[in-house]
Chains A and B, each alone.
Chain A
Amino acid sequence: MTAGETKPAESARSIAWARRRQAAGRVWREFATDRGGLIGLIVLAIIVLLAVLAPVLTNEADLNVTTTELPPRDPPSADAWLGTDRNGVSVLLLIWWGARVSLLIGFSAALLSVFIGTAVGILAAHFGGWPSTILMRLTDFFLVLPTLVLAIALAAVLPRGLGTIVLAIGVASWPTTARLVRAQTLTIEARPYIERSRALGAGHAHLIGKHVLPAVLPLVFANTTLVVANSIIAESTLSFLGVGDPSRPSWGGILQAAFSSGAATQGAWWYLLPPGIGIVIVVLCFTLCGRALETVLNPRLRGQG
């Protein structure tokens, strides 16, 4: 209606943006009807906010084992709500700062993994032929490698640090995403509008950028939230096995410290339980969000529980 009045060049772009806003609004409204997903998102938002604001709300110096004044292995008290660890540092503070590391590694590793997976999946499906064969055999190779062993090996060989952990988890976990994206790309590529676009003279970049990627992205997005959850678990596992970054507390690292100092046999539950519960809550929230998002984007899943 207003297309004739506004400047045409703008209207073309504004039409596209208005449509995207509308689509996003529709996704959000449907997402909001899923109670589990909504709760997951809210809890997650709170946790992320707290983790980001940790330097503002707490004093990092309190993590220093040399300056702490609290007694070691002290049960929960007014000074330390979740008790203290073997060095007399507040467990609450450790968990708080550990969340930063766990979430950071979780997100970065998931992004890396999804990026590799999406690229490999789309390229394999789009080009077909021998590039596809090579890429998919590579995917199969990584798929059958035991993820954890590969990550441990990588983390052991490379210099210790957050980057190494991210790389180890990312490289080990992309094959499932690649298979998923490849399958989705194949169904998109079979649609006649791809043929029409090709007949119009479209090259590979146009086909992938304009048709395939926008159609695959929602799925990738839902998949990412699930991969984040897996990455957090993988990070905790690696830290627990002692190949994490020792200079910073992460949830897996705290668990490992508690375990090696005999917290389980001494009944120091306040030292063992909080990091474990933290992992469970965050992973559960990500899974709830991912499931809800998947249901919104793929209506066929609805009504199957």
Chain B
Amino acid sequence: MTEVAERQDEPTEASSSPVLLELRDLSVRYLAAREELPAVRGVNLRLGAGETLGLAGESGCGKSTLAMSVLRLLPRTATISGEVLLDGEDVNTMRWGRLRTVRWASASVVFQGAMHALNPVRKIYDQIAEPIQLHHGSQVDQTELRRRVLELIDQVELPASKAEAYPHELSGGQKQRVMIAMALACEPRLVIADEPTTALDVIVQAQVLALMSRLVAERGIGLIMISHDLSVLAATCANIAVMYRGEMVEFGPSARLLEQPEHEHSQALAAAFPTIGDPAARFKPATSTPLPEPEPDRCVGEPVLRTENLRVDFRDRGGATVRAVRDVDLAVAENEIVALVGQSGSGKTTLARTLLGLQQPDSGRVYFRDTEIPSSARGLRGYRRQVQLILQDPASALNPRHSAYEAVAEGLRIHGLTDDEPGRVARALEAAELRPAERFMSALPHELSGGQKQRVVIAGALALDPTVVVADEPVASLDASVRGEILALLLRLRIELGLSALVITHDLGLAWNIADRVAVMYQGELVEVGTVEEVLLNPQHEYTRSLLAAVPGGTYRSGPNGECAH
């Protein structure tokens, strides 16, 4: 198309690319319960045509608000001051009709959570065609429209047959591709991507990021990408802006910001996701409280939790057998943290549930200290004092009606440990670093932050003095800075109390941060098991290699291979 060709020339013609978007002293406040909450405070920003910018920051820092203000997609409760100049025109003073024209034709959005942003009852073809029909009305004839939509589907690397599919027939990554195709439908000059890869697996994330980089480069589109993960932004964007409490605290080229962040908060963000292989991050998750030195000649004890030829099958709706866990032999020893890594759907969570006796295996055995775990309700109760579960999302793992005290005391009450209950609860809360414990006892879950909630869940597990904890994605739903603190807590519990842990994760950096051994799971099978250094620095299985290759930050190259903790 000639139009595209012309646009591609624009940035090269003008040596200093024309300003596509300019924010001048932009502030946004939300009116909530007679109180004004500032979300964005006095941000200045310039983005040239064809330039890429990453917006980083934790949840609640105002990065999404900032991005949505570009298209005036904010709720009624928001008051905006300052200017948002899109192609030199202030969005805030536009009339409604002009705004509608600008939306999607000049700038479009790839929304967060592709699974919810698509209409489940309409075909992919119709959903991609919708913005084109809205903006060009009756001028486009059906054959031209069809050609255009199929071209878009082809550009986002989807097979043409998917045009007739419904959203539920697509995988998460494919849905995200459809969202990108929709954003490109009216050939905008600016695309805003709000956490486009957050819900995706590492490998799919790498594919989507590569696609976005390619399209942006080919078409000379300006891109604003929002994420909490600096390495994801660095993979696609030339510049990164870090936001903290509504203010832009640092701005600079991606490589520089990733390696030498200046602002305290950027440093915390950069440190939160370690580079695999970096000896400085081994057994040192980013935390503000210093960790005890790892003991130099630590001995890993006997296996406490062990599986033998474990197999779990499910039946899907069609009646076909799905093998969730196939012949798995896995052991967690005393005083050891094992990381179980793999994509979603690889059977990690099923394995964890089987270890806890929440799921019956179809064949094979689970041993706890050389005794097979009982299947009777009474026997399981005793076993569950020894092995504890920490769930992914602390917000839903706590009963919203129960205070922190009750949540921690629940296990004690179930097991009849009623003597000195308040003392035990207080000790558990303090062991989970909620100090002073009295301050948190009466707090309800909604009064606590994400990290504090996860600490309450951990305290609930610690109250029973368990031997092993099984943590299912313990930091996946937490903010970057909290992530390091929770990982440090798990590591500290291992060092100080000798608590073993099986940590289930899709995040290889987590394994590098705290684990002693890694088990890689692929389609229900353990494809590789070994020490962290062996598996992550010298992967043998092809799948492990592809997982490592997909990590956005890449792996540490200059460090010596096979450097061990002992």
Contact = CB atoms under 8 A, between A and B. Distances in A.
Interface of A: 1, 3-4, 8-9, 11-12, 15-16, 18-19, 23, 191-193, 195-203, 206, 210-211, 214-215
A8 B396 contact: no
A19 B403 contact: yes
A9 B411 contact: no
Nearest to B357: A199
Nearest to B394: A192
A201 B415 contact: yes
A116 B566 CA distance: 64
Given A193-B398, A195-B358, A200-B384, 10 more contacts: A12-B409, A12-B425, A12-B441, A192-B396, A192-B397, A196-B460, A199-B389, A201-B414, A202-B410, A215-B399
B391 A12 contact: no
A25 to B, nearest CB: 15
Contacts of B423: 8
Given A8-B423, A12-B421, A195 B405 contact: no
Contact of A196 (B389, B405, B413): B389
A152 B529 CA distance: 71
B389 A9 contact: no
Given A11-B422, A12-B409, A200 B444 contact: no
15 contacts: A1-B439, A4-B438, A11-B441, A12-B405, A12-B409, A16-B403, A192-B392, A193-B397, A195-B389, A195-B397, A196-B460, A198-B358, A199-B388, A201-B385, A215-B401
B contacts with A: majority SS: helix
Given A199-B358, A201-B381, A201-B415, A15 B457 contact: no
B101 interface: no
Nearest to A210: B410
B356 interface: yes
A199 B356 contact: yes
Contacts of B22: none
B384 A199 contact: yes
Nearest to A203: B377
Contact of A200 (B382, B392, B464): B464
Contacts of B384: 199-201
A18 B442 CA distance: 10
Interface of B: 356, 358, 377, 380-382, 384-385, 388-389, 391-393, 396-399, 401, 403, 405-406, 409-411, 413-415, 421-423, 425, 438-439, 441-442, 444, 457, 460-461, 464
Contact of B411 (A1, A191, A201): A201
A206 B399 CA distance: 13
A191 B392 CA distance: 12
A15 B441 contact: yes
B414 A202 contact: yes
A201 B380 contact: yes
Nearest to A2: B438
Contacts of A201: 380-382, 384-385, 411, 414-415
A200 B397 CA distance: 12
A257 B221 CA distance: 85
Contacts of B410: 197, 200, 202, 210
Contacts of A210: 399, 410
A205 to B, nearest CB: 10
A15 B438 contact: no
A192 B472 CA distance: 12
Contacts of B358: 195, 198-199
A195 B391 contact: yes
A62 B168 CA distance: 73
Nearest to A214: B401
Contact of A15 (B381, B413, B442): B442
B463 to A, nearest CB: 9
Contacts of B405: 12, 15
Contacts of B439: 1
A193 B398 CA distance: 5
Contacts of B444: 19
For A8, A16, A215, the residue with the greatest tally of chain B CB atoms inside 10 Å of its CB is: A8
B389 to A, nearest CB: 4
A192 to B, nearest CB: 5
A254 B397 CA distance: 56
A214 B399 CA distance: 11
A193 B406 CA distance: 13
B545 to A, nearest CB: 33
A9 B421 contact: yes
Contacts of B415: 201
Nearest to B393: A192
A4 B435 CA distance: 13
A47 to B, nearest CB: 34
Nearest to B388: A199
Contacts of B460: 196, 200
A4 B441 CA distance: 11
A8 B437 CA distance: 12
Contacts of B399: 191, 193, 197, 210-211, 215
- Point out which of A196, A203, A206, A214 has the most chain B C-beta atoms below 10 A from its C-beta: A196
B422 A196 contact: no
A210 B398 CA distance: 12
B155 to A, nearest CB: 39
Nearest to B383: A201
A278 to B, nearest CB: 39
Given A200-B384, A200-B388, A193 B396 contact: yes
Nearest to B412: A200
Contact of A9 (B391, B406, B413, B422): B422
Contacts of B406: 16
Nearest to B384: A201
A196 B403 contact: no
Most buried by B among A4, A199, A211: A199
